[in-house]
Structure 1
Amino acid sequence: MRLLELAHAGRNIQLPLSIELDSTSSLVIEQLLRVLPNRRYVAKADWLGKTVLAKLFVGDKAKKHYARELQGVSLLAQQHISTPKLLAHHVNDEGGYLFFEYLENSQTLDYQWRHLASESMLRSTAQQNILQQALASIAILHLQGLWQEDLHLDNLLAKENCLYWIDGDGVSVEKPGNPLSKDKVTNNLAVFFAQLPPEIDTLLPEYIRYYQQYNTTVTLSVDELYKAIVSIRKWRVKNILKKIRRDCTLFSVRNTLNGFYGVVRQQEATLAPLLANPDQFIDKGRFIKGFGTTNVVDTVVNGLHIVLKRYNIKSFKHRLSRFWRPTRGWHSWQEGFRLMMLGIPTAKPLALIEERFQGMRGRAWLITEFLEGPDLLTHLKRYEQSEVPSVELEAIGILFDCLIAQRITHGDLKGTNLFWVNQQWVLIDLDAVKQHHNNRSYQRAYAKDRARFLRNWPKGSALYTQFGQYLPTVDQVIDHYYRLNGVKN
């Protein structure tokens, strides 16, 4: 196959695949690492007997993307920033390619971070070490007048106590060899921190001090950085809520007048049998709950433990009332990604199917990850006559703070909708989740959330009293919202 043909190969490519580069050499793709159909393929490959990291650019904009990548890696090399060695590059009318040395036994910092994600950000030395490593590398990059536009932990590859910058496509320059300006530093660090859990915000002063140990040319403002972080988080939420509606790198989507099919692309092959016949899995799965409007089961699909929830249509009248509105399944699908982007723990949404007839909605099936842990009532039962341990109590405080900071209410905080997983409380059943846009609406809804949460125990009981004293009251919640957002009311 030639590069010109690769432009029409799509996502599902049979491997190994040989790409003819010229009359004397070829590239054998062994493993695809990232695919943007008709645009870019990133792969582990064999070239002249060497294992390389190959970036292949095809399609109408191949020359543009090739030039950006080449410019970025050249800037890194010119400023003596650690980056995998560029072995070969070429572009013509068929497309372009860059081959880099392949760093065996390396891991991105994002990979390391995700494997520590069960630990509390405020207590984990390992997670703080990862961020400190990243900030040191970012500071060095900024000292040379460079910045990575889409800055995140996946841009840094760790191998034998050395960090390498990858993805030259996003590398930009202000003045080569001269420290980056304060505004550029602030905005770039905001991009970085906005992709981390909000609970890290309390540690911003500490991380700024650590960054400035390596870059002493700027004096950063915590308030300015925090405002930039909040702005970028809002953009990230809007961006993901657009992506779940269309076919892209993250999601496989078919959205027509006769139905909606959306699945996290990495899980599409695993979930394929369920997606083809969800009702069969409803019938055979382990029953969790079921009544007129919903049926919920958990089951295992190709080794993946999931929860499947079907939203039913009870009657013709019910069908008419649901025709024009988004299904509750769609609402839960959307809100799941909103909460994840905001760092609020929830069961990961994996797929959604909606029945439609000429655009009018019917039943829906929502697939989420299965949570390995007890619910709130089960976990705290042993403490009914004593005090809740500080870890569980603080975790409830963190969860409520995350919700309050975004003016989000859950709508049904009964004990079976919170699970104790990896030392944190995780929300499920997002059918009634709402983000409020004014204080009056939010305060009313918060009052209901707080009251429903406390009703998990008898009034006057030890748990009712302890949580009632710990959580912000309805009168306090707006001041608490402003305080969490660094605003003086």
Structure 2
Amino acid sequence: MNGDDNIPTYDDWRELAGRDWRTAGLFTVSVGSRPLRAEAILRHLPGRRLAVRAQWRGETVFAKLFFAGHQDEARREVARHRELIEAGLAVPALLYEGFDSHGAVLVTDWVSGQSGQAALRGEQGVALGEDLLDSLFSLYQAGLRQLDLHLDNFLYDGERFLVIDAGEMAPLPGGLRAEPAILDNLALFCAQLPLDLRDALMEKVAERLRRTGISPAPLAAMVRRRSNRRLSSAMRKWRRESSAIGVWSENDEDWLYRRALADDERDALADALREPASLPSIKQGSRISVYGDDRWIIKHYRETGWKARLRRRFFRGRGDVSWVMGWTWALLGVPTPRPVMLRRCPDGQAVIAFPRLPGEPLSRLMEEQRERAVRVAPTVLLWLDRLHRTGFWHGDTKAQNVLVDDADVPAFIDLDGAGFSPWRRRAARKGARERRRFEANWSQFSER
């Protein structure tokens, strides 16, 4: 493919099934007696299935490759896909289905368009939420529900939302159980929304429920419970190997990294984390040193001793917290740099790398561009309020920990003191203190 002779070609499903996360590169495989050339790996569950964007029969397509033992999943997906078509829902066309003893493959149209999330952040904004809810309630009318209900399971082609991932569809219970099931499904939908879209879309969901004759009164509490479960699960997930995160060990050290890194970037960053002082120094401290260049910021947490080793054991060191919170806040759509590599040393030290964000500290704007700082501050407070209502706190909300880019968009940095609690009262108390800390910055700089 693309003239690259290094991309392997497979004729036997079993060869593909043997790939793990580390070897999940591009490939070519025979599908329907024609080569299917993968262009991008979209999802990989080793030993179970691969989802790819590919070229096949001269077209760009979406293909799911199910490995031996998982053919029944493919059959269920085909059945659900046909049910969606029969119900009149907009779905990608099914181009090919094939089954044999080594696995199964499903090929559908590749829909050019935007993910649901991108569409709702686009020119028409959350007004498109009405169209998205039309598609969602059409699912319910067809007697189906999406078990992994999030915005990226909808595609917007410029005119309508298409429902994708039929494999996660399940029948909607009938009778008296239908309304509770719809409420629970909508609570899942709202809990998986980015925080900046959640309030507006929850209002639209509540209004749609009222028009449908279902009381939205339980929705807010159901969303909180769903959100807590999702966040607790995600914060455990970031600690282990997955399709997003790679893990390796060397010299009794644990390393985690973002799989999206190119090989040369990963190797160069690993060298920098082994010798962080090889990069220009930004800040030197007895417990924390910061280094960086035009691409990366690297923080070296120097704490050692039995307390540091104990925190490391339970993934509670400051580097660990920064890693977990960075990934979790990014999942929620919070503007913050998602960490790309973490080195965890046996003595309790840690070294972590982030992409360097453009911008200036809000504290500098307070001193030098007061009017601009005044414009940005309400957005910072709005994000803090969203975080506090979701159960999070930053831990150190001084203005130095907020970067502002040229478009006056703020981003939070230094999350090593951040935390989460499913008990909202605790988060509210922490939040009140954070707000006071942030507002104290203004009085500090106004006195100058």
Normalised TM-score (structure 1): 0.77
Are 1:428 and 2:435 an aligned pair? no
The SS at the match of 1:172 is: strand
Aligned-residue offset at 1:265: 1.9
Distance across 1 between alignment mates of 2:209 and 2:424? 38
Provide the residue aligned with 1:333 in structure 2.
323
**Cα 1:96–1:323, aligned 2, differ >3 Å: closer, same or farther?**
same
- Aligned ranges 1:99-118 → 2 under 5 Å: 99-103=107-111, 105-113=112-120, 116=121
Secondary structure of 1:367's counterpart equals: strand
Residues 44 and 51 in structure 1, CA contact (< 8 A), matched pair in contact too: yes
* Equivalent residue number for residue 29 of structure 1: 37
Q: Do 2:144 and 2:172's aligned partners in 1 also have CA atoms closer than 8 Å?
A: yes
Against the structure 1 CA distance between its residues 153 and 411, is the aligned structure 2 distance closer, same or farther, given a 3 Å change threshold?
Answer: closer
CA shift for structure 1 position 338: 3.8
1:407 offset after TM fit, Å? 5.2
In the TM superposition, residue 112 of structure 1 has moved relative to its aligned partner by: 4.0
Deviates more, 1:264-273 or 1:131-140: 264-273
SS in 1 for 2:65: strand
| Matched residue, 2:5 | none
> 1:282 deviation in Å?
2.9
Measure the CA separation in 2 of the matches of 1:292 and 1:436: 30
Paired AA for residue 10 in structure 1: D
Distance 1:439 1:51 in 2: 47
Q: Which residue is equivalent to 2:137?
A: 139
Q: Deviations over 1:83-117 (max 9, x none)?
A: 111122122221111122333x333223445xx4x
Is residue 2:243 matched to residue 1:252?
A: no
Matched with 1:96 is 104
Say whether 1:348 aligns with 2:300.
no
Aligned to 1:121: none
Mapped contact 2:126–2:201 kept (Cα < 8 A): no
Q: Is the 8 A contact 1:245 1:255 kept in 2?
A: no
Q: Equivalent residue for 1:472?
A: none
Residue type at the aligned position of 1:379: L
Aligned to 1:478: none
Which of 357, 361, 364 does residue 378 from structure 1 map onto? 364
Please list, as runs of the form range in 1=range in 2, the aligned pairs for 1:42-441 lying within 5 A after superposition: 42-60=51-69, 62-103=70-111, 105-113=112-120, 116=121, 126-174=124-172, 181-204=178-201, 206-208=203-205, 211=208, 216-221=211-216, 223-254=217-248, 258-267=252-261, 269=263, 271-279=265-273, 282-300=276-294, 305-313=295-303, 318-326=304-312, 327-342=317-332, 344-356=334-346, 361-382=347-368, 389=374, 391-406=375-390, 408-421=392-405, 423-435=408-420
**How many positions carry a matched residue from both structures?**
431
Does the aligned pair in 1 maintain the 2:247–2:255 contact within 8 Å?
A: yes
- Aligned amino acid, residue 181 of structure 1: A
Q: Aligned partners of 1:436, 1:66: CA distance in 2, in Å?
A: 39
Question: How many Å apart are 1:58 and its aligned residue?
Answer: 0.4
Pairwise CA distance, 1:81: 1.1
> How far does residue 57 in structure 1 lie from its aligned partner after superposition?
0.3
CA 1:388–1:331 in structure 2 vs 1: closer, same or farther (change >3 Å)? closer
Q: Deviations over 1:387-420 (max 9, x none)?
A: 964x424223313323432454433332211222
Alpha-carbon contact 2:311-2:348 (below 8 Å) kept:
no
Give the letter aligned to residue 34 of structure 1.
R
> Residue type of the partner of 2:67?
V
| 1:203, distance to aligned residue in structure 2 (A) | 2.8
How far the C-alpha of 1:277 sits from its partner, in A, is 0.8
Q: CA deviation at 1:377?
A: 1.1
Residue 71 of structure 1: SS of its match in structure 2?
A: helix
SS in 2 for 1:362: coil
Are residues 450 and 67 of structure 1, via their aligned partners in 2, closer, same or farther at CA, if it must alter by over 3 Å?
same
Indicate conservation of the 8 Å contact 1:278/1:365, yes or no: no
Change (3 A) 1:414 1:157: closer
The CA RMSD over aligned residues, in Å, is 3.4
Relative to structure 1, the CA distance from residue 9 to residue 433 in structure 2 (aligned partners, 3 Å threshold; closer, same or farther) is closer
Q: Percent identity?
A: 24
